[in-house]
């Protein structure tokens, strides 16, 4: 039988109220539609309540508001089922990294400082002056440039390039094929030619940041590009030179942030948002997907669109746009009536 945890253990893990058989063994996690015997799932929204009758799950993490609709089921009742489910997932299906050790094909410059219990996999290249903290994991093909520092317990996945002088904090995760410290896009005109401006600054990634796959974070022209503590960056994001992103901010896929932008704490930039250069977004803003931020946002709130506007106003505008054909027809009728009256 697959190794698992009892429902009682999981309820204690997340501080939930157990209803049902606490000795039930949970060996897997799944969505409520796909769950089978031995799995635990979650329910936090009424739109999925219909699956209660058909799910094969052995237990459900559920909100207090919905718990009474799941009579006869093994339940863990918590205020935030999704958060509790995430913690249960991490407990039942932990991410397993390669064991500590250095692969014989890895290149490590003699001047590099390597911490304890690190895992350096095949084809890793570690340059002069690098400092690795304890329990760092470098997957195959990682490039670490000169004088880079990587803090303890950071995980760098395959084919990531960390360019010279970059600073990576503790418990940072960088997914495959991302680049930290690439040159900022800076040129000056000399007649008809474009002359490259040297990019001599650095990048600082603070603690507990997670960076998705195929993300590029440019080094500063001078000074520092900064990604603040706890910020999470999705796949396919471009962050230009001298950008400063605050703490606990969310940057969703295909966002592009131009040079010298300052993004505050707890900001959410939804998918495909574009932010033009040299402006600021204050703390606690939400920018809706496919929006263009072309001027500084000084007041926290939710914004959407192009041109950007308060989200509620944007919703009203979209509703009005849907009615434009009817309004056009009514306007035509009114014009005809006015024309007839004028002829009398």
Hey, which residues are catalytic here?
241
**How far, in Å, are 201, 250, 298, 299 from residue 286 at the CA level?**
29, 9, 13, 11
Going 79 to 81 to 82 to 88, the CA torsion angle's sign is positive
Strand partners, 101: 119
- Residue 236, C-beta contacts closer than 8 angstroms, at least 6 positions apart: 212, 213, 214, 215, 253, 254
Helix (H, G, I), strand (E, B) or coil at 68: helix
Positive or negative, the CA dihedral 273, 171, 156, 128 is positive
Cite the beta strand spans of 21-74 per DSSP E: 25-26, 28-29, 39-43, 59-62
- The label of the residue with tokens 């040079």 reads 259
Q: Under DSSP, is residue 8 helix (H, G, I), strand (E, B) or coil?
A: helix
C-alpha atoms less than 13 angstroms from C-alpha of 328 in its C-beta half-sphere: 5
Calculate the dihedral angle through the C-alpha atoms of 29, 30, 31, 33, rounding to the nearest 10 degrees. Answer: -130
The residue whose two tokens read 């505008």 is: 317
Task: DSSP letter for 297, please.
Answer: B
Whether 76 contacts 14, CB under 8 Å = yes
Residue length of the chain: 344
Cα-Cα-Cα-Cα dihedral sign, residues 316, 317, 321, 326: positive
8 A C-beta contact, residue 270 and residue 251:
no
Q: Are 229 and 248 in contact (CB under 8 A)?
A: yes
The two tokens of residue 148 are: 């880079």
The pair of three-digit structure tokens given for residue 14, joined into one six-digit string: 């997340």
């Amino acid at each position: 039988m697959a190794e698992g945890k009892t429902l009682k253990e999981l309820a204690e893990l997340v501080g939930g109220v157990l209803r049902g058989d606490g000795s039930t063994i949970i060996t897997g996690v799944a969505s409520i539609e796909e769950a089978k015997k031995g799995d635990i799932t979650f329910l936090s929204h009424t739109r999925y309540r219909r699956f209660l009758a058909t799910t094969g799950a052995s237990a459900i993490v559920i909100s207090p508001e919905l718990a009474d609709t799941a009579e006869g089921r093994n339940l863990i009742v918590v205020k935030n089922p999704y958060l509790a489910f995430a913690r249960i997932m991490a407990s039942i299906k932990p991410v397993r990294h390669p064991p500590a050790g250095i692969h014989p094909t890895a290149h490590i410059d003699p001047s590099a400082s390597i911490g304890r219990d690190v895992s350096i996999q095949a084809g890793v290249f570690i340059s002069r002056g690098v400092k690795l903290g304890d329990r760092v994991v470098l997957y195959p093909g990682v490039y670490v440039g000169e004088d880079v520092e990587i803090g303890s317990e950071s995980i760098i996945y395959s084919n990531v390039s960390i360019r010279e002088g970059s600073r990576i904090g503790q418990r940072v995760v960088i997914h495959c094929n991302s680049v930290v410290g690439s040159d900022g896009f800076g040129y000056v005109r000399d007649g008809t030619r474009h002359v490259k401006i040297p990019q001599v600054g650095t990048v600082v990634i603070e603690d507990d940041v997670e960076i998705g796959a195929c993300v590029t974070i440019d080094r500063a022209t001078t000074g520092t590009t900064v990604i603040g503590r706890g910020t999470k960056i999705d796949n396919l994001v471009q962050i230009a030179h001298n950008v400063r992103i605050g703490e606990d901010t969310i940057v969703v896929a295909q966002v592009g942030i131009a040079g010298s932008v300052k993004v505050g704490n707890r900001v959410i930039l939804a998918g495909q948002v574009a932010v033009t250069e040299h402006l600021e977004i204050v703390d606690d803003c939400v920018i809706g997907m496919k929006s263009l931020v072309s001027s500084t946002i000084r007041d926290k709130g939710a914004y959407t669109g192009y041109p950007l506007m308060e989200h509620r106003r944007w919703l009203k505008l979209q509703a009005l746009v849907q009615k434009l054909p009817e309004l056009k027809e009514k306007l035509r009728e009114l014009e005809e009536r006015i024309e007839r009256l004028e002829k009398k």
